Chains A and B, each alone.
Chain A
Amino acid sequence: MNDATRRGFLKRAAALGAGAGLFTINPEFFLSPAAAQEGKTLVFLSAENITGNWDPSAHTTLSQKNIEGFIMGFLTRTPMRVEKPDEVVYELATSLTLLDPTKLEIKLRQGVKFHDGKEFKAEDVKATFEYGSRPDRPAQWYPGPTETLTITTPDDYTVIVDTSKGGYPAHLFMFLAAYLPMMSATDIAAGPQGPLSQRLNGTGPFKFVEQRGNDTVLAANPDYFLGAPKIPAISFNFVGDSTTRMLSLMNGQASIVERLEPEQVATLQGNDKVAISSVVSVENKYLWFRCSKPPFDNPLVRKAACHAIDREQILAVLGEAGHKSANYVSPVKFGYIDLPNYPAYDPEKCQALLAEAGFPGGEGLPPLEYITSVGFYPKTKEYGEVITAMLQEQGFPVTLSVLEIAAWNERLYDRPGGGPGHMVDCGWSTGSPEPDLVLRTHFHSSSKRITGIVDAEIDASLDKERSAPSLEERKAILQSETMPLLADKVPALSLFTSVMIHAMDKSLSGLFIYPDGSMDASKGAFA
């Protein structure tokens, strides 16, 4: 006992500390510059994490779709620019031809190989469509379950999709062709428990190498059929904090970062080493009404609320992150028009509708909760406060609940008896021009994700546009019937279209960013 002395203790503690230090110190630090360039690897910092299951049909997570964009091949690609929303670029397909309203012929490119060496053939398209249409696949992108499809492969490079059993038109697969990554029939044969969930195997410009903690490591595919990429590797990392992402770009550690806040754009615009890319995205931000419970089960009250909101003020709050639109889909989607009857700010109309609904000046309305989130979408709290104030001004007794993402996500969706709260803020983004990925998902009674709306007239109109025999006729129905009907019944109010803002190393060129945030880096290069 008496052997213990302060001096002895301090000596031993120091020795222990030094010993521990020897194990942890990386001598490379003393030999190499601190923030050294790490070759030509493209380092992408993502605002969202991935799911941990690589099966493309098992998720709807945007960040993972972005990774798939580098690795997987698609029959077509749709650049979806505002000035040319319908443009289609053929990738694995060489043509898509409607043989009749329920028969689509797909001709495939020859000589393309999956990263595991398997040749890409018609059997892969058939397997992908049939597997992805299974009702148990969580992504649920396909227009009907597998049994409504008959897919034949007259030869190795021709696929015929017959939808006559399902009673819906085959042209629905034309837009989905740009959204559905092509999987290998061999992988699919092993089922959801097989290699599909363990790694990505595509025909794209980059190969999946490994998942190293939060780092998804990709390497260039030297055999890419459109030419080997110049960038040798991609490191795709999840970094949750937007300031951290920005600092990482500014100090040269990251090559490209996403989801910038408007203030950060202003900061980075003055930096001569950084380039900013702004793209009108596929994502609209909505104020969703809980249509299955009072008072928003009454379309008059919903409409009154819409006329109370001045969307110009919301756009002023958003700055660079918002793009004006007047429809339920983004301007880069098929069928978009500025709807003439889209509800505009009109306090008098608001009051008239409230009175007509039996709530003059808002009197008699129950306390209303408006749920929004912080931490993912830009400025939600700020414009949420603006909307709350505008509604209160017209007599709506609204309180704003600002929740962090997990709590908000738990309260987001409709449930029996109506979802929590009365109004919810949320965006909806799907990387395809297909408008039904928004309209049918949210406003058809078979889906009604957030609103809980059940309206026979809306159902009938959505079924009608979907069943139109040709794309031209479908567009006409969407623009003259379905979309105006939605603007009249307002199960939700689309507030604006998001602008996808990326900041990147100025020496990086040749990158094409799609409006859903995925990108084509096959022609990217560092100067």
Chain B
Amino acid sequence: MFILSFLVRRLLQGALIIFLVTLLIFTLLRVVPGDPVRLMAGGMAPEALIEQIATEMGLRDPILVQFGRYMGGVIQGDLGQSFVRPASGASTGGSGFGDSSRGDRAEVLTLIADTLPMTLQLAALAIFFALVFSFLVGVPGGLAPNRWPDRVAFYISSIFISLPNFWLGIVLALLFSVKLGWLPAIGYKGFAYTILPAIVLAVELAPILIRNLTASLASVMQSPFISVGRVRGLGHRRIVYAHALRNASVPLLNLLGIQISGLLGGVLIVEFIFDYPGLGLLTVNAVLQRDFPLIQGIAIVTSAIFVLINIAVDLIATLIDPRLEY
């Protein structure tokens, strides 16, 4: 019963958040400079024709009228068609104002469905790298507070947090792809193409995880049950891995929820640099081309993902620790 009421309440809240995000994005897109019809029609198209196409497409109606029309489609599961991309999915620029292939435009939902798994794969690998590295560095740091392993963990996380992801991406591609030839870097033709961008994202994620793990493990190691464990004759390894680390992982779980939501910012830049065909690259190109339906569709899908992740994290935390209430 609790789960049902929790889910209903949080999903309703989530729907409201998504609605507000959609309205915000919709409004912002229409006030920033850059007329999508000019981009679609190309430089040679006369001004009168631009106005005619814009009127036909409903882009000269009041924003609220346009929004109402759009949401009507969204409720029926129709995110619309891209302004510029053909069904082949190619990233296109505008040109022909009498463009006969308009009927062949890609469905926004299809474009997102094609690219989202790529980004999920990248995000999953990045989180895996970040967790492994965080444990390797954070656990020794947490077990030796104020001693050199702790300081190493601190220095590493300080350095990592100071590295701009666009710089790191280029440097890693230069090193591992150009100089050493170990990994491919640009585009996507197989799983290996995910590794370098995932490392860049992992470097972005790791510092907070390392600091959190170090601090919480150090704190748990001071708990009475750890001392009792020693008295009970448990070995150091068992105390650390079976008891302390498990307890220290709980705050890490909550943190991961937030970190995953924050990954999107990094994904935009990293996917652009590596030409990785995920949701991030799709977003960057959609923004550059003023592809309104695509940007809106991506905003709805990503905000829905954020909302669902947060609901899941809260639900899991509640299940693990029934004292928590959300």
Cβ contacts A462-493/B at 8 Å (1 or 0 each):
00000000000000000000000000000000
Chain B nearest CB, measured from A432 CB (Å):
16
Q: Tell yes or no: B326 within 8 A of A by CB.
A: no
In the assembly, what is the distance between CA of A139 and CA of B85, in Å? 20
Residues of chain B in range 180-226 having any CB-CB distance to chain A below 8 Å = 181-187, 190-192
- B95 near A58: Cβ-Cβ < 8 Å: yes
- A247 near B173: Cβ-Cβ < 8 Å: yes
Residue among B34, B35, B41, B249 with the most chain A CB within 10 A? Answer: B34
Count of interface residues, chain A, beta-carbon cutoff 8 Å:
74
Q: Tell yes or no: B277 within 8 A of A by CB.
A: yes
- B93 near A50: Cβ-Cβ < 8 Å: yes
Chain A: which residue is nearest B1 at the CB level? Answer: A1
Q: Tell yes or no: B76 within 8 A of A by CB.
A: no
Q: Tell yes or no: A266 within 8 A of B by CB.
A: no
Chain A nearest CB, measured from B92 CB (Å):
4
Chain A nearest CB, measured from B108 CB (Å):
15
- A409 near B39: Cβ-Cβ < 8 Å: yes
User: Would A247 and B183 be within 8 Å (CB), given that A9-B316, A17-B124 are in contact?
Assistant: no
Q: Tell yes or no: B66 within 8 A of A by CB.
A: no
Q: Tell yes or no: B246 within 8 A of A by CB.
A: yes
- B96 near A247: Cβ-Cβ < 8 Å: no
| A-chain residues with CB within 8 Å of residue B117 when the two chains form the complex | 24
| A-chain residues with CB within 8 Å of residue B104 when the two chains form the complex | 52, 197-198
In the assembly, what is the distance between CA of A523 and CA of B44, in Å? 35
In the assembly, what is the distance between CA of A182 and CA of B181, in Å? 43
Cβ contacts A497-512/B at 8 Å (1 or 0 each):
0000000000000000
- A24 near B191: Cβ-Cβ < 8 Å: yes
- A413 near B47: Cβ-Cβ < 8 Å: yes
Q: Tell yes or no: A238 within 8 A of B by CB.
A: yes
Q: Tell yes or no: B250 within 8 A of A by CB.
A: yes
- A410 near B38: Cβ-Cβ < 8 Å: yes
Q: Tell yes or no: A82 within 8 A of B by CB.
A: no
- B184 near A197: Cβ-Cβ < 8 Å: no
| A-chain residues with CB within 8 Å of residue B86 when the two chains form the complex | 52-53, 211
Q: Tell yes or no: B251 within 8 A of A by CB.
A: no
Contact for A406 among B173, B273, B290, CB less than 8 A: B290
Of the 9-residue stretches A102-110, A125-133, A248-256, which lies at the interface with chain B?
Answer: A248-256
Count of interface residues, chain B, beta-carbon cutoff 8 Å:
68
Residues of chain A in range 110-147 having any CB-CB distance to chain B below 8 Å = 136-140
Residues of chain B in range 49-67 having any CB-CB distance to chain A below 8 Å = none
| A-chain residues with CB within 8 Å of residue B93 when the two chains form the complex | 48-51, 61, 63
User: Would A26 and B33 be within 8 Å (CB), given that A213-B90, A244-B186, A251-B186 are in contact?
Assistant: no
- A253 near B96: Cβ-Cβ < 8 Å: no
Contact for B96 among A24, A53, A239, A449, CB less than 8 A: A53
Q: Tell yes or no: A155 within 8 A of B by CB.
A: no
Q: Tell yes or no: B170 within 8 A of A by CB.
A: yes
- A55 near B96: Cβ-Cβ < 8 Å: yes
Contact for A240 among B98, B121, B285, CB less than 8 A: B285
User: Would A248 and B187 be within 8 Å (CB), given that A35-B177, A214-B90 are in contact?
Assistant: yes
Q: Tell yes or no: B325 within 8 A of A by CB.
A: no
Contact for B191 among A25, A192, A247, A415, CB less than 8 A: A25
- A34 near B184: Cβ-Cβ < 8 Å: yes
Cβ contacts B83-94/A at 8 Å (1 or 0 each):
011101111111
| B-chain residues with CB within 8 Å of residue A247 when the two chains form the complex | 170, 173-174, 177-178, 185-186
Q: Tell yes or no: A59 within 8 A of B by CB.
A: yes
- B34 near A406: Cβ-Cβ < 8 Å: yes
Q: Tell yes or no: B5 within 8 A of A by CB.
A: no
Q: Tell yes or no: B314 within 8 A of A by CB.
A: no
Q: Tell yes or no: A60 within 8 A of B by CB.
A: yes
In the assembly, what is the distance between CA of A21 and CA of B198, in Å? 14
| A-chain residues with CB within 8 Å of residue B32 when the two chains form the complex | 407
- A35 near B95: Cβ-Cβ < 8 Å: no
Contact for A29 among B89, B173, B190, CB less than 8 A: B190
Q: Tell yes or no: A309 within 8 A of B by CB.
A: no
- A49 near B191: Cβ-Cβ < 8 Å: no
User: Would A136 and B98 be within 8 Å (CB), given that A29-B192, A52-B92, A406-B290 are in contact?
Assistant: yes
Residues of chain A in range 44-72 having any CB-CB distance to chain B below 8 Å = 48-53, 55, 58-61, 63-64
| A-chain residues with CB within 8 Å of residue B42 when the two chains form the complex | 59-61, 138
Q: Tell yes or no: A78 within 8 A of B by CB.
A: no
Q: Tell yes or no: A4 within 8 A of B by CB.
A: yes
Contact for B187 among A48, A192, A216, A237, CB less than 8 A: A237
- A52 near B84: Cβ-Cβ < 8 Å: yes
Q: Beyond the given A60-B44, A237-B187, could you list 15 further A-B residue pairs with CB under 8 A, ordered by the A residue number?
A: A29-B192, A34-B184, A51-B93, A52-B86, A52-B101, A58-B96, A61-B42, A139-B96, A244-B186, A247-B174, A248-B185, A251-B177, A251-B184, A253-B187, A409-B38
Which A residues fall within an 8 A CB radius of B? 1, 4-7, 9-10, 17, 20-21, 24-26, 28-29, 34-35, 48-53, 55, 58-61, 63-64, 136-140, 191-193, 197-198, 210-214, 216, 237-241, 243-244, 247-248, 250-254, 375, 403-407, 409-413, 415-416, 449
28 contacts between A and B (CB under 8 A): A6-B249, A6-B250, A24-B117, A26-B190, A52-B86, A53-B86, A53-B101, A58-B99, A60-B44, A61-B93, A138-B44, A138-B97, A139-B96, A193-B100, A211-B90, A213-B277, A238-B91, A240-B91, A240-B272, A241-B273, A241-B275, A247-B174, A251-B173, A253-B184, A375-B288, A407-B33, A412-B43, A415-B47
